[in-house]
Amino acid sequence: MLEISFCCALKTTTDSPDRTANFLRAVGAYEALGCGDHELVVADYGSTLDWQELRERAPFPIVVESVSGYFNRAQGLNRAAARARSPLLFFVDADILVPARFCETLRRCVGAGRAFFPRCFRLKQGSPLIVRPGLGRWAPGFGMCGILAQDFARVGGWDEVLGRSWGGEDREFFGRARRRLAVDTSLSELLDQWHPRSIAYREKFSDPRVENASPWKRIRNRKARREGLRD
């Protein structure tokens, strides 16, 4: 049985070369993991990558779930989880560099009724790919989560209604997990590669029909709808 399923959602375009380059570096980091048997499960929103070449090169299975429509990170992660073959899931952004020692930390921090939301090191633009003061900052890793598949089902999965591409779904999922499970938010050596973070950049991947609001406003509105307080 596979030990760990790394699950991510991905969208690359010809005018977003940073996303393609970051993902390919992330795949290279997975190749160096000392995890035993593991797989990378990707929900792919029409990316411009040569998946056959990547599969042939990688020393671990890469499972690709093709998803049509506008990019929705929460939907993609749910689709990836449905294809995962390991009982231990790690949800991760497509541009995160996973260090070789991370698997040991993941096994230690995740168990029945226990989830792991590791903090990551967010690099500044142009910084080398190392953790060092001045090159970036530690950031909450709400969108990165190690969890058993049975506990993921218990929490209820990612809320697909919240997001225009991404934003807000991570905090909402973390809040639900914290109410149902014991949660560990320790530091890790996960590296979040630099990429544009502006609203305009995010909107390039968004469904224009979804409410254009801040993540926190969308979360509040979503909760209100659930409680019958909003039309």
Q: Quick check: 75 and 159 in contact, CB under 8 A?
A: no
180: CB partners within 8 A, 6+ apart: 151, 154, 155
The pLDDT tens digits along the chain (231 residues) read 679 999 999 988 777 778 899 999 999 999 888 666 899 999 999 998 999 999 999 989 999 999 998 889 999 999 999 999 999 999 999 999 999 888 889 999 999 999 999 999 999 999 999 999 999 999 988 889 999 999 999 999 999 887 567 778 999 999 999 999 999 999 888 999 997 765 555 565 666 666 554 454 555 555 544 444 333
Q: Is residue 112 part of a domain?
A: yes
- Supply the pLDDT for residue 16: 72
- Supply the pLDDT for residue 211: 55
Give the model confidence (pLDDT) of 161-216 as tens digits.
875 677 789 999 999 999 999 999 998 889 999 977 655 555 656 666 665 544 54
Q: Quick check: 81 and 160 in contact, CB under 8 A?
A: no
Determine the Cα–Cα distance for residues 202 and 159; give it in Å rounded to an integer: 18
- Global pTM reads 0.86
Going by C-alpha positions, the residue among 154, 172, 27 that lies closest to residue 95 is 27
* CA distance readout (Å), 197 to 18, 26, 97, 125: 12, 18, 18, 11
Rg of the chain taking only CA atoms, in angstroms: 17
- Supply the pLDDT for residue 231: 30
Going by C-alpha positions, the residue among 40, 26, 31 that lies closest to residue 85 is 40
Neighbouring CB atoms inside 10 A of 11's CB total 24
DSSP tag of 111:
B
Per-residue tokens: 139: 């950031």
Which amino acid makes up residue 223?
A: K
The number of distinct structural domains making up the chain is 1
- Supply the pLDDT for residue 203: 61
Q: Is residue 130 part of a domain?
A: yes
CATH number at residue 183: 3.90.550.10
Which amino acid makes up residue 72?
A: N
- Quote the strand ranges of 16-131, DSSP E: 38-44, 62-66, 88-91, 96-97, 114-116, 119-123
Domain extent at residue 102: 4-226
Determine the Cα–Cα distance for residues 106 and 117; give it in Å rounded to an integer: 10
DSSP tag of 72:
B
Determine the Cα–Cα distance for residues 231 and 144; give it in Å rounded to an integer: 32
Q: Is residue 81 part of a domain?
A: yes
Q: Is residue 231 part of a domain?
A: no
- Supply the pLDDT for residue 227: 46
Determine the Cα–Cα distance for residues 191 and 133; give it in Å rounded to an integer: 13
Pairing of strands 96-97, 187-192: antiparallel
- Supply the pLDDT for residue 222: 53
